[in-house]
Structure 1
Amino acid sequence: MSATWSWYVIALLALNILGIAWLLWWTARRRPGDPKPEDTSHYWDEDITEYNKPMPRWWINGFYLAIAFGIGYLFWYGGLGTYQGYSQWSSAREHERDKAARNATLAETFRAYDGAPIPQLAADPAARALGQSIFANTCATCHGSSAQGAIGYPNLADDIWHWGGEPERILQTVMDGREGVMPEWGKVLTGIGGDNAVDYVIAYVRTLAAPGKSLQNDYLASTGKKLYDGVCVACHGVDGKGNTELGAPDLTDDYWLHGSSTASLRETIVNGRHGVMPAHAELLGETRARLVAAYVWSLSNRPAPAGSASAANSEPAR
């Protein structure tokens, strides 16, 4: 706030306070010539009379005390422009202090799980319950309370992982986030294969989930394969298995992040997709991120008994 605005706020507050005090003083005093309190000429039902009496002195003094309290409050806590107040209090500092205290309590709660291997945490019911609670508070907004996702948000309860399903890969996803980009290929494909090029590619992509299907008598799919091999193979691979380093999905399964309809596939190819998983390292910290990663990993991996050698060293079957 500039000095000009600061003085403007101070002047406005001062005028309001002085105006209220003057109005209270002016309306509370009686002047010579004022009619008697009972001389209002307002009567109802013959025996009900309206009086015009001043407020009791204790009530008026209460208003003055409230004004004095307001002035003291402004000087103590601030509110006069850029003046911070004698106490130097601010809601931001109070929030940071309370946050630090809560974080200390949380750190003590989670200390037992610091650095623990994710399979080991997944095998511990208490740790898994903590991870589920963190998931419900942080991740369920996008992935759903059951972690089964929605259109555009991955299902975390199956065994399909666009960025890899190994424990440390899941932890990396939670900590650092992911950004998946499917470029716009509509104009490129049309320029290479004509107006129906996108439909040719869609026809071929659908055959990838049907191993052994012959393309010999399928003009659309066979034409689409040539276009796929020239454009799509760089990310999704020759066999369509995708690339977890790039987040390129496997096209040979029956899972479609944005839907499997022809309209949805056409939208994906023509206009591309841009998916962002936010980084949660700063929000959760390493231990809580590890716990939620363990919970997510456990959804598609049966945890080994806690304390066993396999619990510390197991890798998921993918």
Structure 2
Amino acid sequence: MGNGWSWYVIALVALNIGGCAWLLWWTAKRRPGDPKPEDTSHVWDGNLTEYNKPLPKWWINLFWITIVFGIGYLIWYPGLGNLHGYAGWTSQGEHAKQKAAYDARLDETFAPYRNRPIDALAADPAALKLGRSIFGNTCATCHGSSAQGATGYPNLTDDIWHWGGSPDRILETVLDGREGVMPAWGPTLTGMAGENAVDYVAAYVRTLSQPDALRNDYMAAQGKALYDGTCVACHGPAGKGDPAMGAPDLTDGYWLYGDSNDAIRQTIAKGRHGSMPAHRALLGETRARLAAAYVWSLSHKPAAPNKGD
């Protein structure tokens, strides 16, 4: 707050307190010519009389005590512009104090799970319960409460992992986030093979999960040459992708941005930019580890016991 505004607040507070004190003093006085307390001449229905009796002294004194208390409060706590209160109290300091207390309680709660392996946490029901709660508070906004994702947000309950599905890779994703970038190939492909080039590549990409379809598909056959010249660097010759850079496997039939012709064409022509935020600063390593364990457990269900066991 600037000094001008600070002095404005101080003056406004002083004016209000002084005004209240003056009003209390002025209205409590009896003046010459005032009617007697028992005689105001305000009578209704012959026997209902309005008296002019002053407030009791104890009531008046309570008003004065309130004013004195208010002045003391403003001196003790910071309530006069930029002036610091005598107690040194600040809302920022109070927040920091309470946060430190809550952080200590959280550390105590999560201490048993610190640095434990992801797969071990996934086998611990108490750890999974905490991980599910953390997931619901921080991850469900994008991936859904059931973790099945949506268009542009991966399904975490299947066995398809663009950045790798090992416990360590999942923890790395939660802690440090991911940036998945698919370049816009429309101008390049159009320059190579004309206005139908994107359609050719889209047709070929579809056949990667159905190799036999390539034999009788003219557009896909044209698209293979274009794919080999532009896409293999990330997705590989067979379309299996590369988890090291987040390039998806094009042979599994899973389409993060939709499997319609328009969606695939847009991905090829205009590219995509998927961002998974880093949660290290927000959650800390232990809570991120619990969330990763819960996510890993969704696609690694424990084997059902044999009936004979």
Using structure 1 for the length normalisation, give the TM-score: 0.83
Change (3 A) 1:293 1:51: same
Larger radius of gyration: 2
What is residue 126 of structure 2 aligned with on the other side? 126
What is residue 283 of structure 2 aligned with on the other side? 284
Offset, 1:302: 3.2
1:248 maps to a residue whose letter is A
Change (3 A) 1:110 1:21: same
- Secondary structure of 1:213's counterpart equals helix
Change (3 A) 1:56 1:132: same
- Secondary structure of 1:206's counterpart equals helix
2:156 and 2:227 map into 1 onto residues whose CA distance is: 28
Q: Which has the higher contact order (CA 8 A, sep 6+)?
A: 1
Asked whether 1:255 is paired with 2:254, we answer: yes
Change (3 A) 1:286 1:34: same
C-alpha distance after superposition, 1:55-95 (max 9, x if no partner): 44433333333332222222222122222322222222222
- Secondary structure of 1:158's counterpart equals coil
C-alpha distance after superposition, 1:191-249 (max 9, x if no partner): 333333333322222222213322x4423222333333333332222222222122222
What is residue 193 of structure 1 aligned with on the other side? 193
2:249 and 2:46 map into 1 onto residues whose CA distance is: 92
Asked whether 1:135 is paired with 2:135, we answer: yes
What is residue 266 of structure 1 aligned with on the other side? 265
Larger displacement relative to structure 2 (16-25 or 144-153): 16-25
- Secondary structure of 2:274's counterpart equals strand
What is residue 21 of structure 2 aligned with on the other side? 21
Change (3 A) 1:79 1:273: farther
What is residue 159 of structure 2 aligned with on the other side? 159
Change (3 A) 1:166 1:22: same
Offset, 1:255: 2.0
2:31 and 2:240 map into 1 onto residues whose CA distance is: 95
Offset, 1:26: 3.4
- Gapped regions of structure 1 (runs ≥ 5): 306-318
1:280 and 1:244 map into 2 onto residues whose CA distance is: 20
- Superposed, which structure 2 residues align to 1:18-167 within 5 Å? 18-34=18-34, 39=40, 41=42, 43=44, 54-167=54-167
Offset, 1:34: 4.3
- Residue pair 1:200, 1:221 contacting (<8 A) in 2 also: yes
- Secondary structure of 2:275's counterpart equals strand
Larger displacement relative to structure 2 (216-225 or 151-160): 216-225
2:106 and 2:10 map into 1 onto residues whose CA distance is: 42
Change (3 A) 1:102 1:271: same
The Cα RMSD (Å) is 2.7
Change (3 A) 1:5 1:269: farther
- Secondary structure of 2:165's counterpart equals coil
1:4 and 1:174 map into 2 onto residues whose CA distance is: 48
What is residue 225 of structure 1 aligned with on the other side? 224
- Secondary structure of 1:181's counterpart equals strand
Change (3 A) 1:28 1:281: same
Using structure 2 for the length normalisation, give the TM-score: 0.85
Larger displacement relative to structure 2 (104-113 or 50-59): 50-59
What is residue 171 of structure 2 aligned with on the other side? 171
Change (3 A) 1:76 1:270: farther
2:100 and 2:34 map into 1 onto residues whose CA distance is: 63
Change (3 A) 1:261 1:34: farther
1:253 and 1:46 map into 2 onto residues whose CA distance is: 98
